[in-house]
Amino acid sequence: MGKEKMRNKEIAEILHITPAAVSMALNNKGGVSESKRKKIFELKYASSQSPEEKEKKKGRILFFIHVKNGNVIAETHFFVTLMSAIQERAGYYGYFADIIRYDSKTQFREFISSVNMSNVCGILVLATEIDSEDAALYRDLGKPLVMIDNWFAGEDYDCILMDNIDGIKQAVRYACHMEHRNIGFVRSKIHIHNFDERYEGFCQGMREAGLPIIRKNIFSTKCTTDGAYEDMCAIIKKTPELPSLLIISNDVMAIGIVNALKYSHYRVPKDVSVISFDNMPIARYFSPTLTTVSIQDKQIGYVSVDRLIEKIEKGMDNYFVHNLIGVRLEIRESVCNYSSMR
């Protein structure tokens, strides 16, 4: 049995900060430096098990990645960081995490029929692209189960996911703060949970700001960088006037869209400002640097494994959690005040 995680008050005493600051850091709120935030996470998650227990290999965790739409998942930094975090955290608890990627139910069934499930202790699923029918395949395996990056309304699953809606609402509020009123949104042509929630966040944010959602200001592109570039070039040719600010579903698309704007002689942000989502590393080095919603991809991995270990070791399968991991807007160069445009 592992030790209890360190309480926020204990962490605060060690770091000479307030428990409120610890809580803000763990929930990805502002007001805490990155160096302090890192120390808080290290103390929180390094305190839950003794060294003796970490030496033991207790069993195997399967981490399934069901790919339906090509590179939608694989092209994001979130995917890479999540895999690393899950393997790291599982190893910390003394488990080995196997990553299984497949793109059809036939492949899934072939894998299940070939693997020894007796030494599988639990299952994690990157559920970004799956539906309720797919989810049932994992539930029917009869192992402790946690879904990542999706949720299934009215169904009993533990779900750990980012707060897409609040992230885009933060983007809308910042756009309004910068005096933009003619705000557009770029959706993905592929409809998955994350993209749909981000559009819902846009609609909610616009309504809360008292701004109209104008149909001609809603655009759709492919969700790859090259695809978004090509689609945006076509959109620009047939759109006489673009909104003063575009909120884009993710950074992968945003890179292509900003390049299309540049190619078409739009200055970013002076002619069109841009806000994106994901805060991939390239967002800090692209020109202009991208204002984007930052997700806690590593924490999503940690929290997912934490919950699965609870279910495995403590039998906590009589209730289900729906845990939204907070996000925050990183303000950079791709947005300027509307009054300074053009």
pLDDT tens track for 288-303 = 999 999 999 999 999 9
Instruction: Mention every residue, 6+ apart, whose C-beta is less than 8 A from residue 10.
Output: none
- Of the pLDDT bands very low, low, confident and very high (cuts 50, 70, 90), residue 6 is low
- Of the pLDDT bands very low, low, confident and very high (cuts 50, 70, 90), residue 56 is low
For residue 124, report the phi and psi dihedrals to the nearest 5 degrees. Answer: -110, 145
Once rounded to an integer, what is the mean pLDDT over residues 154-158?
86
Q: What DSSP line would sit under 129-179, residue for residue?
A: T--HHHHHHHHTT-S-EEEES---TTS--EEEEE-HHHHHHHHHHHHHHTT
Measured over all CA atoms, what is the biggest interatomic distance in the chain, rounded to whole angstroms?
A: 67
Computed over every residue of the chain, the mean pLDDT equals 86
So what's the pLDDT on residue 86? 93
pLDDT digits (tens, 9 = 90+) for 244-284: 999 999 999 999 999 999 999 999 999 999 999 999 988 99
So what's the pLDDT on residue 2? 45
- Of the pLDDT bands very low, low, confident and very high (cuts 50, 70, 90), residue 48 is very low
Name which residue leads in pLDDT, 154 or 329: 329
Instruction: Mention every residue, 6+ apart, whose C-beta is less than 8 A from residue 143.
Output: 117, 120, 121, 122, 123
Q: Which residue has the tokens 């196997």?
A: 98
Least confident of 108-122, 131-145, 152-166, 248-262: 108-122
Name which residue leads in pLDDT, 209 or 9: 209
Helices (H) and strands (E) in the chain, counts: 12, 12
Residue 72 has pLDDT above 70, yes or no: no
So what's the pLDDT on residue 161? 93
- Of the pLDDT bands very low, low, confident and very high (cuts 50, 70, 90), residue 158 is very high
Residue 307 has pLDDT above 90, yes or no: yes
Least confident of 64-78, 126-140, 214-228, 277-291: 64-78
Residue 47 has pLDDT above 70, yes or no: no
So what's the pLDDT on residue 65? 86
Name which residue leads in pLDDT, 104 or 230: 230
Tokens matching residue 103? 């793109």
Domain with CATH 3.40.50.2300 in the chain: 57-163+296-326, 164-294+330-340
Tokens matching residue 239? 């759109």
- Of the pLDDT bands very low, low, confident and very high (cuts 50, 70, 90), residue 69 is low
- Quote the CA–CA distance of 159 and 124 in Å, as a whole number: 10
So what's the pLDDT on residue 55? 46
Provide the percentage of residues in the chain whose pLDDT is more than 90: 55
- Quote the CA–CA distance of 87 and 275 in Å, as a whole number: 32
Q: Which residue has the tokens 């009993």?
A: 156
- Of the pLDDT bands very low, low, confident and very high (cuts 50, 70, 90), residue 49 is very low
Tokens matching residue 126? 């990157």
- Quote the CA–CA distance of 226 and 203 in Å, as a whole number: 27
N- to C-terminal Cα distance for the chain? 63
Closest CA to 77 of 254, 199, 228, 246: 254
So what's the pLDDT on residue 130? 84
So what's the pLDDT on residue 54? 42
CATH T-level assignment (fold) for domain 1-48: 434 Repressor (Amino-terminal Domain) (1.10.260)
Residue 1 has pLDDT above 50, yes or no: no
Is the CB of residue 66 less than 8 Å from the CB of residue 31?
no
Q: What's the distance, CA 263 to chain centroid?
A: 30
Provide the percentage of residues in the chain whose pLDDT is more than 70: 86
Strands (E), 67-108: 95-102
- Quote the CA–CA distance of 269 and 244 in Å, as a whole number: 9
- Quote the CA–CA distance of 108 and 262 in Å, as a whole number: 43
We find that the CATH architecture of domain 57-163+296-326 is 3-Layer(aba) Sandwich (3.40)
So what's the pLDDT on residue 74? 53
pTM reported for the whole predicted model = 0.80
CATH number of 164-294+330-340: 3.40.50.2300
Angle between helix 225-237 and helix 251-263 axes, rounded to 10 deg: 40
3-state secondary structure of 303: helix
By CB neighbour count within 10 A (0-12 exposed, 13-18 middle, 19+ buried), where does 168 fall?
buried
- Of the pLDDT bands very low, low, confident and very high (cuts 50, 70, 90), residue 152 is confident
Strands (E), the chain: 59-66, 95-102, 120-126, 145-148, 158-162, 183-188, 218-221, 245-248, 273-278, 291-294, 322-325, 328-330
Domain with CATH 1.10.260 in the chain: 1-48
- Of the pLDDT bands very low, low, confident and very high (cuts 50, 70, 90), residue 339 is very high
**Alpha carbon separation from 71 to 37, 67, 68, 106, 283 (Å, rounded):** 32, 8, 9, 20, 19
Closest CA to 278 of 68, 125, 73: 73
So what's the pLDDT on residue 38? 58
Name which residue leads in pLDDT, 50 or 173: 173
